[in-house]
């Protein structure tokens, strides 16, 4: 940056002394600006902003290394705060967009599950694939056998992967039951908490014969299942 050129338009005879003083102060300000910013580009901007403020608010006779350093310091603090605010705002905006994307993907996933699996298949599939429950754990929760769980899970996976003809499962569902399970699956995935689903399974009509399930929270978090949505 050529400071002399920057301020030459404002020079008159009575500014010659100010120009000479700027030439004398510039090397020290440059060194201090590099010390503050740690890079060439920010330092050059800081020098320019500092000189502009100094020439605007002070007489040339008032300028000194200490004054310029003080102006530069506060200018740099303001710049850092502004950048931090902009970064936080950008991250917040990105987070909101990311959350909205995840919500949309969860909705698609849960719709796919309830539209293509039976209620029992949907529950077993979710506990195993989303929350990493073992077949024996699921069998204990549903008061059934481990073999039955594995068999149901196998059929559910084939349907999800479209490896078998997707015959309608509407006959396995009641409308209020589908709505209830949809809400349970969605909120369990959103909260990453299988207890939301487990505690309410006995309220699902087609699984009503299942005894009250043990309240327990599995340690695993859900897998990233968004890509499985239709």
Question: Residues 57, 9: one domain?
Answer: yes
Residue 217, pLDDT score: 41
Is residue 202 one of the residues assigned to a domain? yes
121 and 221 co-located in one domain: yes
Q: Where are the alpha helices (DSSP H) in the chain?
A: 3-7, 16-37, 40-57, 65-116, 119-125, 135-142, 146-160, 175-191, 195-198
Q: How much is the average pLDDT of 65-73?
A: 92
Copy the structure tokens of residue 163: 């490896």
Q: Is the domain of 131 the same as that of 217?
A: yes
Among 88, 107, 127, identify where a domain stops: 88
Taking residues 207-212, report their average pLDDT: 51
Same domain flag for 9 and 67? yes
Q: How many CB atoms lie within 10 A of CB 99?
A: 11
Q: Are residues 133 and 223 in the same domain?
A: yes
Same domain, 149 and 207: yes
106 in any annotated domain: no
For the chain, what is the mean pLDDT? 77
Q: Are residues 131 and 68 in the same domain?
A: no
Identify the pLDDT of residue 203: 80
Q: Are residues 63 and 163 in the same domain?
A: no
> What are the CA-CA distances from residue 88 to residues 33, 97, 98 (Å)?
25, 14, 15
- Does residue 70 sit in the same domain as residue 125? no
Instruction: Print the domain residue range for 159.
Output: 117-228
Tens of pLDDT along 95-131? Answer: 666 666 677 788 888 888 888 888 889 899 989 888 8
- Report the domain count for the chain: 2
Please say whether the beta carbons of 11 and 19 come within 8 A: yes
* Last-in-domain residue among 88, 107, 142: 88
pLDDT (average), residues 66-90: 85
As a whole-number percent, the residues of the chain with pLDDT over 90 amount to 21
| Least confident stretch, 16-20, 66-70, 111-115, 158-162 | 16-20
Q: What is the pLDDT of residues 122-176, one digit of tens each?
A: 899 989 888 889 999 999 888 889 999 999 998 888 887 775 555 666 667 777 8
Q: How far is Cα 153 from Cα 28, in angstroms, rounded to an integer? A: 74
Looking at the fold, whether 134 and 218 belong to one and the same domain comes out as: yes
């Amino acid at each position: 940056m050529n400071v002399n050129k920057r301020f030459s338009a404002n020079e008159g005879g009575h500014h010659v002394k100010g120009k000479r003083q700027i030439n004398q102060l510039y090397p020290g300000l440059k060194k201090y600006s590099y010390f503050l910013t740690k890079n060439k580009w920010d330092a050059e901007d800081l020098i320019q902003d500092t000189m502009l403020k100094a020439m605007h608010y002070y007489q040339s006779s008032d300028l000194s290394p200490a004054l310029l350093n003080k102006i530069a310091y506060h200018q740099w603090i303001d710049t850092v705060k502004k950048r931090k605010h902009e970064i936080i705002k950008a991250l917040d905006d990105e987070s909101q967009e990311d959350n909205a994307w995840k919500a949309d993907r969860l909705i698609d996933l849960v719709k796919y599950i309830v539209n293509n699996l039976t209620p029992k298949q949907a529950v077993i599939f979710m506990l195993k694939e989303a929350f990493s429950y073992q077949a024996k754990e699921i069998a204990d929760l549903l008061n059934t056998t481990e073999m039955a769980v594995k068999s149901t899970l196998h059929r559910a996976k084939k349907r999800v992967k479209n490896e078998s003809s997707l015959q309608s499962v509407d006959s396995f569902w009641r409308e209020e039951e589908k709505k209830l399970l949809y809400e349970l699956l969605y909120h369990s995935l959103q909260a990453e908490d299988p207890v939301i689903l487990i505690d309410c399974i006995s309220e699902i009509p087609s699984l009503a014969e299942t005894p009250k399930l043990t309240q327990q929270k599995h340690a695993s978090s859900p897998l990233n299942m968004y890509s499985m949505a239709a």
